[in-house]
């Protein structure tokens, strides 16, 4: 199994998203998956210009010369795409959305009706595969992932890839506010999710729920966050 990971946290391996992503990828590797990680922070990818040249001038090829020229062939060869992102303003980070927009050359301009819905045809060079979401959010409630989750599921359907599951970590900063030993089960579940995906092609609801479990009561979490920022602002003479 070949896996391509699009890591969209600007903090990369030092962010809260990575704390769930890392054991998940370790689980995949333990089952023999070939995992390649790309951090959007290190990529040079311009926004889609919307000229449709990749459809009508140079089919399958964008006129822009940047890192998408390297990524598109890798995406076409990968069995699993992993989108890893913190939640920014109810969605994925801007660089990841820009990258997704630039996947336009993978599609054909022609349309069809599939499963009762209108879609673009995908190029023959893009085999069927799977998409997984790994995301972290600063807000306490899990439903803060709903807009992002809806987008990734819709995108998966549009590119004819199976949505294989989501590891969602609400109140992610709490992972740095409590003793590490109390979080062991979360990281164990993330690791098991990677192994499960490699073996069965999906992540079970049991493991997804385990990764998202409550770390601390909402009021306690809000108080800790507010107190922490109060101290920072006072130390900088801003309060």
**Which pair of tokens denotes residue 12?**
């990369």
Phi and psi at 107, nearest 5°, equal -105, 160
**What is this structure's pTM?**
0.94
> Quick one: fold of 2-235?
Rossmann fold (3.40.50)
Place of tokens 């089919």: 59
Pick from 92, 74, 182, 105: nearest CA to 134: 92
CB 157 within 8 A of CB 107: no
Partner residues linked to 32 by β-bridges: none
Contacts of 191 (CB under 8 A, 6+ apart): 23, 24, 26, 27, 30
Per-residue pLDDT of the chain in tens (239 residues, 90 and over written 9): 999 999 999 998 999 999 999 999 999 999 999 999 999 999 999 999 999 999 999 999 999 999 999 999 999 999 999 999 999 999 999 999 999 999 999 998 899 898 888 988 888 777 789 999 999 999 999 999 999 999 999 999 999 999 999 999 999 999 988 877 889 999 999 999 999 999 999 999 999 999 999 999 999 999 989 998 888 988 898 87
Partner residues linked to 119 by β-bridges: 112
Nearest 5°: CA angle at 84, between 23 and 131? 95
């Amino acid at each position: 199994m070949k896996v391509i990971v699009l890591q969209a946290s600007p903090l990369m391996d030092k962010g809260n998203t990575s704390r769930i992503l890392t054991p998940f990828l370790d689980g995949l590797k333990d089952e023999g998956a070939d995992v390649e990680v790309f951090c959007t922070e290190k990529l040079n990818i311009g926004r889609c210009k919307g000229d449709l040249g990749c459809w009508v001038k140079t089919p399958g090829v964008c006129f822009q010369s940047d890192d998408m020229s390297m990524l598109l062939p890798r995406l076409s060869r990968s069995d699993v795409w992993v989108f890893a992102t913190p939640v920014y303003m109810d969605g994925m980070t801007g660089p990841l959305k820009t990258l997704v927009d630039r996947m336009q050359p993978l599609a054909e301009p022609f349309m069809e009706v599939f499963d009762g819905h209108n879609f673009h045809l995908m190029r023959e060079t893009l085999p069927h595969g799977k998409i997984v979401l790994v995301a972290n959010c600063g807000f306490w409630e899990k439903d803060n992932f709903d807009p992002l989750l809806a987008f990734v599921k819709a995108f998966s359907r549009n590119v004819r890839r199976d949505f294989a599951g989501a590891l969602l970590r609400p109140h992610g900063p709490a992972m740095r506010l409590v003793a590490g030993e109390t979080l062991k089960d979360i990281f164990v579940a993330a690791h098991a999710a990677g192994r499960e995906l490699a073996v069965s092609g999906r992540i079970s609801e049991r493991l997804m729920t385990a990764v998202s479990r409550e770390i601390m009561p909402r009021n306690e979490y809000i108080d800790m966050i507010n107190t922490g920022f109060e101290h920072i602002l006072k130390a900088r003479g801003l309060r």
